[in-house]
Amino acid sequence: MASRLFPTVRRFQRVLLKLSGEGLMGHRPFGLDTETVGRLAAEIKTVHEDGITISLIVGGGNIFRGVDGVAAGMERTGADYMGMLATVMNALAVGNALQQVDCPVRVMSAIPMPTICESFTRYGALHHLSKGRIVIFAAGIGSPFFTTDTAATLRAIEMACDVLLKATQVDGVYSADPNRDRTAQRYESLTYTDVLTRNLQVMDATAVALARENRLPVLIFSLHNRGALADVLAGRGLFTIISEEG
């Protein structure tokens, strides 16, 4: 049976994977679940060994979210910097898990912290990818008021990726939260304009607009389905694709 995305050959060879921080919790109320992180590392390794050039961005919501800090009365800039530091912690954890399964990996931070990891430069990151290493981008874009979705979109464009893969808590984009609304409609495909005009809360508007401007497809799938990363890259399984054509 022909793939709905890949009728003859694999389409995506260079990808950026965005992992939500919440997804790293497993069944824990906060923090990291080592079993979940280890499983994700093994699945990333499988894709890497299949010849896919892959980089990652990890959110920080399992540790600290800037918007939560603001809701608690914190000043936005300071809260966002705390959220960026949470992404660094998660990036180091995922990097360690990849090292444990013998994957070559480098963590690069948009906020310089040379005793912990490399500082991000575009040319440095492209060099690592050219050498077959997995690159994990940490600390967002290094500035407050920008989400990790926007950072992931920007880095995917800078790395000349074919697609941005966003691994979330659900298996695609819905018209409403399917965990709260049983009548929520699931979409197989959407245009960037659909996402913006229908106010679908899959990514922030800045990230969607940036992807649209640069014609970067965004593929949404569940990180809880085992083997989902390899499946969606082969055009199998459940996911929603956001693109110019929809």
User: 30 pLDDT exceeds 70?
Assistant: yes
Mean pLDDT of 158-184: 92
How high is the mean pLDDT of the chain?
Answer: 91
Q: Where are the domains of the chain?
A: 14-170+224-237
Within 10 Å of residue 182's Cβ, how many Cβ atoms?
7
- What is the predicted pLDDT for the residue at 66? 65
Question: What span, in angstroms and rounded, lies between the C-alpha atoms of 91 and 168?
Answer: 17
Answer whether CATH 3.40.1160.10 is correct for domain 14-170+224-237: yes
Reported as type and span, the H/E element at residue 40 is helix 34-49
Within 10 Å of residue 30's Cβ, how many Cβ atoms?
11
Q: Output the pTM of the full model.
A: 0.92
Q: pLDDT by residue (tens digit) across 196-238? A: 999 998 999 999 999 999 999 999 999 888 999 999 999 888 9
Tell me which of 139 and 180 has the higher pLDDT.
139
What is the per-residue burial (b if ≥16 Cβ within 10 Å, else e) of 161-181?
A: bbbbbbbbebbbbbeeebeee
- Closest by CA to 61, choosing from 34, 31, 103, is 31
Residue 107 exposed, middle or buried by CB count within 10 Å (0-12, 13-18, 19+): buried
Tell me which of 187 and 245 has the higher pLDDT.
187
Mean pLDDT of 73-100: 94
Question: What span, in angstroms and rounded, lies between the C-alpha atoms of 162 and 176?
Answer: 28
User: Which residue type does 34 have?
Assistant: T
Q: Are 185 and 191 in contact (CB under 8 A)?
A: no
Q: pLDDT by residue (tens digit) across 102-116? A: 999 999 999 999 999
Mean pLDDT of 170-189: 91
Mean pLDDT of 64-82: 81
